[in-house]
Structure 1
Amino acid sequence: MNKDVKIYIAGHKGMVGSAVWRAFEKEGYHNIIGFGSKDLDLRDQAAVKDMLAQEKPQVVIDAAAKVGGIMANNTYPYQFLMDNMLIQNNLIEASLHVDLDKFIFLGSSCIYPKLAPQPLKEDYLLTGPLEPTNEWYAIAKISGVKLCEAIRKQFGKDYVSLMPTNLYGPFDNFDLQTSHVLPAMIRKFHDAANNGNAPVTLWGSGTPMREFLHVDDMAKAVVFAAENKLPEHLYNVGTGEDLTIKDLAQTIQKATGHEGEIVWDSTKPDGTPRKLMDISRMHGLGWKHRISLEEGIKDTYDWFLENSNSYKEVKI
């Protein structure tokens, strides 16, 4: 792909979008554009169409979404369903409207059935019920995947969906009310360590297994998809390795220097028992992750410490 190609990254200020921007710049791409929410409301169909018609990008990457953990999904089901459908549908429809050939849609591993066989293959989509605690977000993302598949089938355009496993890294959300499990743990252990190594209470039993991918590795997968015409419409992006939530907690506890007790609140939901991605499809094309979990957690915690003034410590 020519380094002069114009690339529009929706959601460029978020954790994923900003990582994608950095990855393209690192590879020598310099004609990259993005708009903050104050300048462009992606839920406004007319505004999105006008922007694409005016800017005429050659590649559109949808890294914009309303995201959050179990608590946020349970508390705001309507927003998680409606806002995400509006954002992605407007971007996909506007891209087709301006005859754009390359569109990369980013989703989540939560699109797969709760009790699907492990590891999760792309073919397992729509083969069983979803995990109830995040089905609102999942249904929105599934509709985006199917829209991109429909456009490939009907119009022959290179619209591809990348489904990452649990992402983490710099610019993550560390707010305890809305964050995902890994950044929430970093925040909890950090605050507890600074409060006399107070006990840390975590949701569930600690037995579910999860896979985690550093956002910079995900960003490289996006660049890979942009630079190559991928033969399928849907690809899992992950490490192919998982660990228990309890092991994750102990890894983060060590990284933050917390020496107190970990308490598991079994009255809170565990979520899906296991979510390991089958990444053979992407591996077969040549993409593989590079950052280990231990290295990635250290990198993320270092970033958190450098930016901890953005997060008020919680007295425990």
Structure 2
Amino acid sequence: MQSKVVRRYLLPREAEQDPGFRDYILDLSHRGLRLIAWIEIIFPVLMVPAQSFVTAEPASRRLLMSRLIALLLLGALTLGLSRTSWSRRWGRILAVTSGWISATILVCTALLFPSASFVEELPMGLIVIPLICVVVIPLWPLHVLELGLATPGFYALAFWGSGSWNRSGQMWTEIVFLVMISLLCTALSSMLYTQRHSSYRAHQEALRIAEDLRQSQLRVLLSENAASMGRLAAALSHDFNSPIGALRSSAETLLSLAGRISPAPAEKREELLAALKELCVAVRDSSERLYSIIARIQRFT
């Protein structure tokens, strides 16, 4: 049971079963890999010349220049790899590998140009490497633990190569310190990974709520439009039915009068003609009312 808990803590694969979160992590890793490449290029360019002005020993300057060249080459290689199509999928592995190589460069240059002062400064560089990886790349805690636990070995190797075994007490103290920093970085990476997962889920939940709200607003708008259309249809039917009914009644009356005018006597014809005039006026009024209704409708189109 405890082994499963530890495995879930070090390898939180369950979170990346969500395709959206996995794509989010891969994008972060890809961008972080490029950032690490630029750090590997810019950091030595800024720091190594500054240290070379302080250091007057030729061996120390050769060490600094060798570190500068090696880190620049590593940064250029990492930057080139980050531009490949498959680097998005393997961004985290490439970042950890780049961190290992950076630590190896620090140790190898210290072995090639032994100097007690640079060996004493080595733990700081070995601490910075996992910290940068933790902050920049969404690494699994296991990745950080592997990278972090390698740093004490690198430091012990550099300490041995510099011939400083007479200060083994200091070495073991700093190794314990590096191990503690590695465990701290592992815990920090777990917290950051969990925070990223929580932020992603909160963002997705906010998007879902926003979509539900938009759908609700759309349904309310459609219902309001339907109610408005119903009221408009009722008003139009009432406005159209009145003049249309008058036109229909007038047309039927006109047809009836048209059949009665010819056989009617002269005195009746005048009455029928007067009735025809009234019907024509009614037809004209009804048609004008229809025109006015149509004109009002056209103002809204």
TM-score of the alignment, normalized to the shorter chain, above 0.5: no
Hey, which of these two has a bigger chunk of helix by percent? 2
Give TM-score scaled by structure 1 length: 0.25
Hey, which of these two has a bigger chunk of strand by percent? 1
The higher radius of gyration belongs to 2
Give TM-score scaled by structure 2 length: 0.26
Return the structure number with greater relative CO, CA threshold 8 A, min gap 6: 1
